[in-house]
Chain A
Amino acid sequence: MAKVTFIEHSGEQHCVPAGDGQTLMQVAIDNGVPGIDADCGGGCACGTCHVVVAEGWREKLDPANDSEEAMLSMSPDPQAGSRLSCQVQMNDGLDGLVVELPEFQM
């Protein structure tokens, strides 16, 4: 099973297992990683599951679609590598993925 590392804004790291086909948001919630609100429940509709994918991993993910881009563009704090974790699907090829959590969710 793939492992993902979430790094909180404080620097604290959580290395957790990610099932094939799970979204990154679900992985965070299932493993009690703090800092992901996911108010809309994974519908790409609230922007509160924002993560920043570490360099080197960004191009390995499927690119964001229009709805995700639209929501990300509303973030007051957009960064290179910004993604909505509800739109990133895990597979075993992403073993070792590293994502950072922003200081605030919008």
Chain B
Amino acid sequence: MNVMLKPSSASEVLLPAADIPLESLDVSDPRLLETNTWPEYFKRLRDEDPVHYLPDSPFGAFWSITRFEDIQFVDSNFKLFSSEPVIVIGDRPDDMFLEMFIAMDPPKHDEQRRAVQSVVAPKNLAEMEDLIRQRVISILDGLPVGESFNWVDKVSIELTTQMLATLFDFPVEQRHKLTYWSDMATSSPEMTGGTSTKEEREEAMDQCAKAFIQLWHDKAARREAGEEQGFDLINLLQNNEDTKDMIERPLEFLGNIILLIVGGNDTTRNSISGGVHALNQFPEQYDKLRADTSLIPNMISEIIRWQTPLAHMRRVANEDVELNGKTIKKGDKVVMWYLSGNRDERVIENPDQFQVDRKNARHHLSFGFGVHRCMGNRLAEMQLRILWEEIMQRFDRIEVVDEPQYIRSNFVKGYSELQVVVHPKK
């Protein structure tokens, strides 16, 4: 197993992409995101070998799909490309045998997804809008003025975690556990090149399981006692014919809970941070936004493209497939690099530019395509829209005052630190 941990050991220096022979170019190295050196690596694959095979890596052999249209093809064809048994590049270590519908093919996927998707369905979001706005206001009004602080902790994590606690009817005072469990679930070195240990993960998954089993029983008891139940995830599972006994299938229960925690956590969190960072890198875009805040909804799609908070999804070929001149063999691992497709010059004009008024901004890969397309897309867009509406009411500028720190992973494309100073409107 030692060889597995090699990319995290930082023992080898990361070379410029141009100095590496194409056949051994390894975009799975989790330091590419951590050091923000990924763009040149992926540009090289897009230009020179868009369907690229790497026979040997710490995550095994894999194909890299790096152009927008090829990614859309793979993502849309669930019959050709299976999502089982796992949707990240590395295989599961023996402590991570959770069952989640993102890593199931139809028809089982459809059943389980249908049972939970209404919790984030657009119809119910309208009712949540006021609550989200109140929380955003309270977070923004509590920010320190005139001193630098970590936007990731004080805003990005705080807002997404409060939202998750609401969706799960999870005790709000314990909400930080949700962030921790989510981080543990996505940071296995074997799966994503992250930095957690087996012991930490086992402990976290165990705590998470206990907490949610407890919550399930509490809610069942409260309902039996005649207490009216709100519109939350556990309640939905308990009221759906296919999932009302899910508690008796603990790996599936915990798997789906973890899936929704991760789905609602890293993604929105890092898009919240990414938007602030992007507007600082492109100050003329910040000016444009200040001049016309009706650009906010369009900017939200652009932030989600530009950030691409999940860098990849992985599939396994169900049969031999010809793609862009290459033959992917049945059983081969296929990695769709969303972060690369979202910078594909063939589909997106000036893709490295952040443009708040970009035309056709909704045409991005960050939510995926096909039957596994993100279920929380509308909630994510709504959270970001409300946040930016309230930011623009209050602050003339959120100024990034130091180089951001990025997470080491080949899956979560995100920030651990973004030091800012907020400048209230005069």
Q: What is the interface of chain A, defined by CB distance below 8 A to chain B?
A: 37-41, 43-48, 67, 70-71, 73-74, 76-77, 103-106
**B321 is an interface residue with CB less than 8 A from chain A:** no
Given contacts A46-B373, A70-B78, A106-B122, contact A40 B72 (CB under 8 A): yes
Specify the chain A residue showing the minimal Cβ separation from B123. Answer: A104
B369 touches A74 (CB 8 A): no
B378 touches A104 (CB 8 A): yes
**Chain B residues closer than 8 Å to A46, beta-carbon distance:** 367, 369, 373
- What's the Cα separation between A21 and B113 when bound, in Å? 35
Within B74-91, the residues touching A (CB, 8 Å) are: 75-76, 78
16 CB < 8 A contacts A-B = A37-B362, A39-B364, A43-B76, A45-B76, A46-B373, A67-B76, A70-B78, A70-B106, A70-B370, A73-B114, A74-B110, A76-B118, A76-B121, A76-B122, A77-B123, A106-B378
- What's the Cα separation between A43 and B371 when bound, in Å? 12
**Chain A residues closer than 8 Å to B106, beta-carbon distance:** 70
B121 touches A77 (CB 8 A): yes
Specify the chain B residue showing the minimal Cβ separation from A104. Answer: B122
A76 touches B123 (CB 8 A): yes
Given contacts A41-B363, A43-B369, 7 further A-B contacts (CB under 8 A): A44-B76, A45-B76, A70-B110, A70-B371, A104-B378, A105-B122, A106-B121
**Chain A residues closer than 8 Å to B373, beta-carbon distance:** 45-47, 74
Within B153-211, the residues touching A (CB, 8 Å) are: none
Chain B residues with a Cβ closer than 8 Å to the other chain, count? 23
A39 touches B362 (CB 8 A): yes
Contact with A along B86-128 (1 / 0, CB 8 A): 0000000000000000000010001001100110011100000
- What is the distance, in angstroms, from A40's C-beta to the closest C-beta of chain B? 5
**Chain B residues closer than 8 Å to A67, beta-carbon distance:** 76
A71 touches B121 (CB 8 A): no
- What is the distance, in angstroms, from B220's C-beta to the closest C-beta of chain A? 25
- What's the Cα separation between A76 and B120 when bound, in Å? 9
- What's the Cα separation between A77 and B123 when bound, in Å? 9
**Chain B residues closer than 8 Å to A41, beta-carbon distance:** 363
Specify the chain A residue showing the minimal Cβ separation from B301. Answer: A39
Within B363-392, the residues touching A (CB, 8 Å) are: 363-364, 367, 369-371, 373, 377-378
- What's the Cα separation between A42 and B78 when bound, in Å? 17
- What's the Cα separation between A74 and B78 when bound, in Å? 14
Residue from A45, A47, A74, A104 within 8 A of B113 (CB atoms): A74
- What's the Cα separation between A87 and B191 when bound, in Å? 37
- What's the Cα separation between A43 and B364 when bound, in Å? 13
Specify the chain A residue showing the minimal Cβ separation from B363. Answer: A41
Specify the chain B residue showing the minimal Cβ separation from A47. Answer: B373
B370 touches A73 (CB 8 A): no
**Chain A residues closer than 8 Å to B370, beta-carbon distance:** 45, 70-71
- What's the Cα separation between A76 and B114 when bound, in Å? 8
**Chain B residues closer than 8 Å to A74, beta-carbon distance:** 110, 113-114, 117, 371, 373
A45 touches B72 (CB 8 A): yes
- What's the Cα separation between A46 and B368 when bound, in Å? 8
- What's the Cα separation between A71 and B77 when bound, in Å? 11
Residue from A45, A103, A104 within 8 A of B369 (CB atoms): A45
- What's the Cα separation between A104 and B122 when bound, in Å? 6
**Chain B residues closer than 8 Å to A70, beta-carbon distance:** 78, 106, 110, 370-371
Given contacts A44-B76, A45-B75, A46-B373, contact A73 B110 (CB under 8 A): yes
- What's the Cα separation between A40 and B73 when bound, in Å? 11
- What is the distance, in angstroms, from B156's C-beta to the closest C-beta of chain A? 24
- What's the Cα separation between A47 and B377 when bound, in Å? 12
Residue from A40, A47, A73 within 8 A of B363 (CB atoms): A40
**Chain A residues closer than 8 Å to B110, beta-carbon distance:** 70, 73-74
**Chain A residues closer than 8 Å to B123, beta-carbon distance:** 76-77, 103-104
**Chain A residues closer than 8 Å to B118, beta-carbon distance:** 76
**Chain A residues closer than 8 Å to B369, beta-carbon distance:** 40, 43, 45-46
- What's the Cα separation between A44 and B106 when bound, in Å? 17
- What's the Cα separation between A42 and B362 when bound, in Å? 13
- What's the Cα separation between A76 and B113 when bound, in Å? 10
- What's the Cα separation between A47 and B117 when bound, in Å? 14
**Chain B residues closer than 8 Å to A71, beta-carbon distance:** 370-371
